[in-house]
Structure 1
């Protein structure tokens, strides 16, 4: 006899998503915590450090569309587990480059950051597939917000810890600690991740709740076909106004993210005169604020949807309001108090979290047959900012000797994201593919 109430297996999947995404962002932001000490230890300038910061982004972007295709072709569990294992090994190896001569150390670090970026590229397209299959529409924004808030939780949890590790054991130890954690988590992930129909603990009531609520519970049982059938849909996605607005908005949104993940601790040390340990603790407050904002954004969006508001209004309103708040980062130029700077950054990243519903939009709008491909394309656009933001800020700082231009750059990207999500994206609806004609509607 079916259970009287839906079970909670989907929340255990959400917990795993949160943990893996936390490790993902801890790995990619580890260099920002170690960056100032590494810069001094290897004798490199701001431009060189900017290029090393950007190395992750180059490969991460290149790997997005192939990563999304791999999910559609082979399923989430094998692709995601292998990716997690490989990027953890590569993170661990970064801890040993300090033993090399300076030139070789810089080159090796750049190459390892490239490889980490490529290996971790499937992460967020995989998260989108898992969320779409495990959560009904009215719970999807909250689930996405919680898993995405891991990017802030990673900094809140690991920035103080990694600051202490750098100060007491050296910058190389950061990568060794995080690499070992990732390897341990990859074995837990292998055991715990299943599709809804394949999960050994799911009850019939919860399965019915997912299916009736719009969850794509058979997604893991479907395969996207040959590579050719996938690639020909790229043009169709890029001709959809809704998808274009989502992709462009995510690029601008991620410019804020990658300032925080790369240059923000360096800004606190070099422009504000904080110690590395102090910068690690100071970075935690904006991260916590971003995490809170992210969860509230999802709750607000799903709450509006349950109260009868349109899907378009329920998704757009938190995004527009949040990203307007993010532009407050520019005000840091005009204040002298370190406490005020941290407070403004906390406000900006609360807004950034509130407005981070891009992956929810991907799950809401992408054609179900190529959700992984669409997620890969979305993350390709978004993570071009992982390339441009560290380099642009590196040149701005090197040229002016100040971080003021960098803060203006970040604030302008927040406003451009408002335009993209608020105006370019029209009515939010799922794009459907006509299998016979290969057209989208």
Structure 2
């Protein structure tokens, strides 16, 4: 089941980042300047972020098998249609559609992991499926660059769209929840349940059916601890969305690298991020198993990672390609470490509001997918990318401070009665 989610994440991020690979050629053909390109990069984030709370609520009500299949097929159709755009408006609209249909994906991921894994294995499980975004991009970015080189940017969108449509059918055929899986025995169900896994939606409590209420929404937004992880997630995603949008353009247009060469060099930071993510997840779970407090075990890798992400600013002080990639890889390694932050949704969420809390968490974090591409477009419009990297590094530092000073003891938030 985790392998299926892993592939979902790979495809999810292929369809987020194919535009970054296509951007140089596409912007020339459609005559898009840096500011227009920034808005195009951000279009996915507008709908994706704004629909996180509805997406989380839907993830609480619709079976992952059905909902994920629907999302995969629809966002992949929107991706395929991007091959036929004629200008800014049509491309912006289709990126909005892609973001809208991807919106429930991470709340679904969190629901699947919460159902299939006990608490002490959850950070490892999260790090493994989230690593799909980096492993896939590290090994497939050169493939995407090669596809575009031979088939053009239109062929790139058609190819990635078709892959997602086919995989949506595969997911529907093979995914099952624990209680519905024919090969899961009672001992496995007991192991998951005794370890804190929610194998049945009924375990979430009687309020599950009415998770949406202004009272519940107010509680999810009023917790200081939750605000700490919301701000931290915005900072984590700021670095991530630089790499998912502007990074290839930065290498080609602002550092003068060859397009094909940039495709291979761009894979290095993604591999580093994957290494950081896996290291963080397994170290965090190891610390929990050896008796370290959950707060220390979960927060330490995230804080260290966010502080490491500040190193992206170092690329401003060198013209050597090797050192540029080194600073980029080090920063993304740190960002990868911090991406186990999804474990805090499982730890902190009220039991009957896991989907809602996950939606709010992802909404706040993915505001970065709107803000960062646009701000970078304005900061870099005069041909100088240095201020943009300072902006990204500063957000990483703010995120670390948020976890240090706002996130207190890691324990489930209790909803106060009306």
TM over 0.5: yes
Greater alpha carbon shift after TM alignment, 271-280 vs 294-303? 271-280
1:189 aligns with 2:171: yes
RMSD: 1.5
Contact between 2:68 and 2:168, CA under 8 Å: does it hold in 1?
no
Q: Report the Cα distance in structure 2 between the residues aligned to 1:218 and 1:153, rounded to whole angstroms.
A: 31
Q: Equivalences for 1:4-403 in 2 at 5 Å?
A: 13-97=1-85, 100=86, 105-219=87-201, 225=208, 229-398=212-381, 400-403=382-385
Residue matched to 2:411? 429
Q: Secondary structure at the match of 1:410?
A: helix
Q: What do residues 213-244 of structure 1 show as CA deviations (whole Å, max 9, x unaligned)? A: 11111137868655674443110011111111
Q: Report the Cα distance in structure 2 between the residues aligned to 1:78 and 1:367, rounded to whole angstroms.
A: 25
In structure 1, list runs of 5 or more residues that go unmatched.
Answer: 1-12
Contact between 1:142 and 1:299, CA under 8 Å: does it hold in 2?
yes
TM score, norm. by length of structure 1? 0.92
Q: What do residues 313-338 of structure 1 show as CA deviations (whole Å, max 9, x unaligned)? A: 00011111111111110000001111
Aligned positions, number: 417
Contact between 2:38 and 2:373, CA under 8 Å: does it hold in 1?
yes
Q: Secondary structure at the match of 1:257?
A: helix
Q: Secondary structure at the match of 2:51?
A: helix
Q: Report the Cα distance in structure 2 between the residues aligned to 1:280 and 1:161, rounded to whole angstroms.
A: 8
Q: Secondary structure at the match of 2:342?
A: helix
Q: Report the Cα distance in structure 1 between the residues aligned to 2:134 and 2:201, rounded to whole angstroms.
A: 29
Q: Secondary structure at the match of 2:339?
A: coil
Closer, same or farther in 2 for the Cα pair 1:227/1:34, shift >3 Å? farther
Q: Secondary structure at the match of 1:171?
A: helix
Contact between 2:219 and 2:415, CA under 8 Å: does it hold in 1?
no
Q: CA deviation at 1:193?
A: 1.7
Residue matched to 2:388? 406
In structure 2, list runs of 5 or more residues that go unmatched.
Answer: none
Contact between 2:216 and 2:415, CA under 8 Å: does it hold in 1?
no
Q: What do residues 402-429 of structure 1 show as CA deviations (whole Å, max 9, x unaligned)? A: 1100100110011011011222111001
Q: CA deviation at 1:339?
A: 1.1
Residue matched to 1:8? none
Q: CA deviation at 1:157?
A: 2.2
Q: Secondary structure at the match of 1:389?
A: helix
Q: What do residues 276-326 of structure 1 show as CA deviations (whole Å, max 9, x unaligned)? A: 211111110100110111011000100000000000000011111111111
Q: Report the Cα distance in structure 2 between the residues aligned to 1:230 and 1:145, rounded to whole angstroms.
A: 32
Q: Secondary structure at the match of 1:50?
A: helix
Closer, same or farther in 2 for the Cα pair 1:259/1:216, shift >3 Å? same
Residue matched to 1:3? none
Q: What do residues 54-84 of structure 1 show as CA deviations (whole Å, max 9, x unaligned)? A: 0000000111111111111233222222111
Q: Secondary structure at the match of 1:349?
A: helix
Q: Report the Cα distance in structure 2 between the residues aligned to 1:51 and 1:118, rounded to whole angstroms.
A: 16
Greater alpha carbon shift after TM alignment, 425-434 vs 143-152? 425-434
